[in-house]
Structure 1
Amino acid sequence: MTISTDQTSKILVVENDAPVRNFIDGYLNQTYQVQSAADGKTALEIFEEFNPVLVILDGNLPDNIGVKLCEEMQRQNNVFLVVMSSSVTGEKDGIKIIKAGVDDLIGKPFSLEDLAVRIEILLRGMKTVTRRYLVFGELGFDLISREVTLKEKTLALTALEFQLLYFLATYPGKAWSRQQLIEKVWGWKCNDPRDEQVADVYIRMIRRKLAKVDSAVPNFIQTSHGDGYTFAPIDRNNKVSR
């Protein structure tokens, strides 16, 4: 398999198992700048100095479980991308991991080719764009810094939350099914109806973060019954603003 070379992208591999860690490190080093750690303490030290755009995180570390480490990293930098490499035993575990800020979940064992494809999909949204701002009334997108502001306050969105909200905002008024969102934003082929619940979880988290700024702001993401979700930026005069 051939993956595009991007030596400007920094990836941190956090894995307790030394052979697995070295295997992933050696494979990804052919394409990206990679550093690795075997425990949470070392990972945080490298994270602060290395400033990676993506972290491959083991869910079972000796000194810190992966979810807690992910949350700690998100508190320091809310726009980086994370792949959690962990065994998930049920739906509740998966939702808990997603809420921690994970942008993709890959279960062990996995192939390096599968991991590479997922990384490439996640980093695809980091490419430079020609237009910097997208504005809908008091809601604004900075496409270079990948930040969203509402009433001049920055929302603490994860990278995938940004991608999902931005994708919907680029097609105002268009209804997207959960399956379409999974395939367009996550890059997965959605064959299992249970996978569609991932979109619901992320939409719910985005709505909560918007409401935290001002509970009276318009509901920018409307539920289209039978169709999925629609971005509908309504101003105080009930007109679509752009």
Structure 2
Amino acid sequence: MALEAFHDIVTLELTNGEIRIEVTGLEAERIPKSPNRNTAGLVAKKLLEKRGIGVKIHLHKGIPLSMGLGSSGASAAACAYGLNELLKLGLSRNEIIKWAALGEIAAAGAVHADNVAASILGGFTIVRVHGDLIEAVRIEPPQSLEVALAMPIIKTAENKTAAARAILPRTIPLKNTVSNIQNAAYIVAGFHFGDINMIGRGMTDAIAEPFRKKLIPCYEAVKKAALDAGAAGVTISGAGPTVIAVI
């Protein structure tokens, strides 16, 4: 789901073959300038490598880093979208998402479209991956839906997303898989019907939350406080450590 609370600004300028990256804004010193290690830079490298041109990327970060808010995906999405416009490539939304998803290799070590799809389409998005095919759809959130974020000030691993994935078990009990599929379907139904309580009840995670919550100080206390205060549902945002509540 895309939030309007934070955003990046990405400016692109075509060059004669070199990819250069400049970064300003939040924690700019932490963001790699190498195209292979920067999500926007990697998108540009892969999209332009057979075209004989380069690009100067100016990335002004407004989305906090390593907080589970899709910061790396937003940069990749902006670069893919911008290059499509700049070069008049005529890519479909799903094709833009596919190129943007390649940039996540730089941050997460793997291609994934969850964050870039939300950045490109907005609203609540569902991504389906089948082989090389990536399809994404958007559902308009209920107008009355509100979101609260708790963002702990803690030190996170340099490759936080990869670390948060590594902590997950290699095998998952069947009952936990069934539970998560049921809850995911319930969330989708909640967005479709505009029912915030349905969305909240579906925010029960039997796979990632039991392991990733150990990385977030006071997670259970924060979750209980939010539910006691009237939140419809609470869970970990992305790979954490941000905690998200829907109201």
TM-score (norm 2): 0.30
TM-score (norm 1): 0.30
